[in-house]
Amino acid sequence: MKTLKKIALGLTISALMTTGAQAEAISDGVVKIGVLGDMGGVYADICGPGCVTAAQMAVEDFGGTVLGKPIELISADDQNKPDIGSAKVRQWIEDQQVDTVTGLVASSVTGAVTKVLTDNKKIALIGASASHAFTTKACSPYNAHWTYNVVALANGTVKPMVDAGKKKWFFITADYAFGHALEGVASKVITSNGGEVVGAVRAPLGTTDFSSYVLQAQASGADVVALANAGSDFINALKTSAEFGLTENMDVAGLLVFTQSALALDPNIAGGMKLTTGFYWDLDDDTRAWSKRFKARHGGIPSMAHAGVYSATMHYLNSIKAAGTDNSDAVMAQMKANKPDDFFARNAHLRNDGRMVHDMYQMRIKKASERKSDEDLFVVENIVPGDQAFGPMLAQCDFK
């Protein structure tokens, strides 16, 4: 009888310990996700309010709770300024116990923010930044770089054009971390494949008058003028190129073209341009179904950043469930152990360096005569497997 009592007492203690462990599995009793983006500047259409919508959709589709605890979402405008972004994230961690941050569009902001997150052992779900630094010189065991990067863009867009005989290149580049990284990687692709960079100019973020830069490009004798910028900078640069007649004599390559940018451009100007992207709303039934829901919520078709933020947020929540805790080390281990598989992440896995490797798509912008509607933007010309698009992992960033 005493033995039975001891067994019963042991089971009771074990049950109490298990209940206590479950209660402590979620720190502070809530999983809190911060969405940081550009809410009103040059990248607002790419990853501002739309990234908040995408993350909220992921939370709702997951069910609103994980391990019996609520999931909360907060957001802020970083104004594309590293000091503002890093200060906001520091305040989120210290005062609001944020567990992870997603969105993250301007690479300069992301660079500052990921330092804060790493110092506090919090995961960065990088949804919209292009620089490859976050899985190379600034790699971290807490970075998950999800949607695309400059390496994939250059491999997808630049190499085929050089191989086709477009050997001389001139860059109009956004003058900050993202533009510098994109120009640098694209230049290596050009020269390693027998091409030549004949010149480059750098334009400040938010430039509205690109006339002097376009004139320098025209005088360069290049076969291709590469626009190493994005958002409204890309739109203004391409419009100015057309106004000055540059597009009649030279090819223009958009190295980072989002659907919102293509929508804003006259197809007579943008039609025929080649680009590389990680997502297109009209790719297949799965992308169309999710995009229809996003459009109903947000009022416009999604960018690859919106789709990437949804996918990363969903994988993060699934990984908390699998780990049984929101501890960042345990969650990241699950994120790398289990392959993401959704309408965005095709043939995908999260490498040990934090690079989410997945299929990328070589696209062509449709001409006016090809379009069935205003949102009928791209033709898929080729699918690039992730291992070819993103390049190899560096040994020093192999966080096992």
Instruction: From first to last of the 400 residues of the chain, give the pLDDT tens digit.
Output: 444 344 344 433 333 333 344 445 999 999 999 999 999 998 999 999 999 999 999 999 999 999 999 999 999 999 999 999 999 999 999 999 999 999 999 999 999 999 999 999 999 999 999 999 999 999 999 999 999 999 999 999 999 999 999 999 999 999 988 899 999 999 999 999 999 999 999 999 999 999 999 999 999 999 999 999 998 999 999 999 999 999 998 999 999 999 999 999 999 999 999 999 999 999 999 999 999 999 999 999 999 999 999 999 999 999 999 999 999 999 999 999 999 999 999 999 999 999 999 999 999 999 999 999 999 999 999 999 999 999 899 999 999 8
**Does 12 map to a domain?**
no
Predicted pLDDT at 4: 39
Tokens in use for 84? Answer: 């503002």
Same domain, 95 and 238: no
Number of domains, the chain:
2
How many angstroms separate the Cα of 149 from the Cα of each of 152, 182, 253, 263?
6, 9, 16, 22
Q: What is the 3-state secondary structure (H, E, C) of the chain?
A: CHHHHHHHHHHHHHHHHHHHHHHHHCHHHCEEEEEEECCCCCCHHHHCHHHHHHHHHHHHHHCCEECCEEEEEEEEECCCCHHHHHHHHHHHHHHHCCCEEEECCCHHHHHHHHHHHHHCCCEEEECCCCCHHHHCCCCCCCEEECCCCHHHHHHHHHHHHHHCCCCEEEEEEECCHHHHHHHHHHHHHHHHCCCEEEEEEEECCCCCCCHHHHHHHHCCCCCEEEEECCHHHHHHHHHHHHHCCHHHHCEEEECCCCHHHHHHCCHHHHCCCEEEECCCCCCCHHHHHHHHHHHHHHCCCCCHHHHHHHHHHHHHHHHHHHHCCCCHHHHHHHHHHCCCCCCCCCCCEECCCCEEECCEEEEEECCHHHCCCCCCCEEEEEEECHHHHHCCCCHHHCCC
CATH number at residue 376: 3.40.50.2300
Same domain, 66 and 119: yes
Same domain, 199 and 97: no
Predicted pLDDT at 291: 98
Same domain, 240 and 104: no
**Does 22 map to a domain?**
no
Predicted pLDDT at 286: 98
Range of 70's domain?
Answer: 30-148+283-358
Same domain, 369 and 299: no
Supply φ then ψ for residue 346, to 5 degrees.
Answer: -110, 130
**Does 192 map to a domain?**
yes
Same domain, 165 and 215: yes
Same domain, 92 and 116: yes
Predicted pLDDT at 12: 37
Same domain, 229 and 370: yes
Same domain, 264 and 382: yes
Predicted pLDDT at 157: 94
Predicted pLDDT at 139: 98
**Does 21 map to a domain?**
no
Give the chain's end-to-end CA distance (angstroms, integer): 50
**Does 135 map to a domain?**
yes
Same domain, 110 and 206: no
**Does 347 map to a domain?**
yes
Predicted pLDDT at 293: 98
Q: Is the pTM of this model over 0.85?
A: yes
Predicted pLDDT at 400: 82
**Does 399 map to a domain?**
no
**Does 121 map to a domain?**
yes
Same domain, 333 and 380: no
Q: How far is CA 245 from the centre of its chain?
A: 33
Same domain, 384 and 242: yes
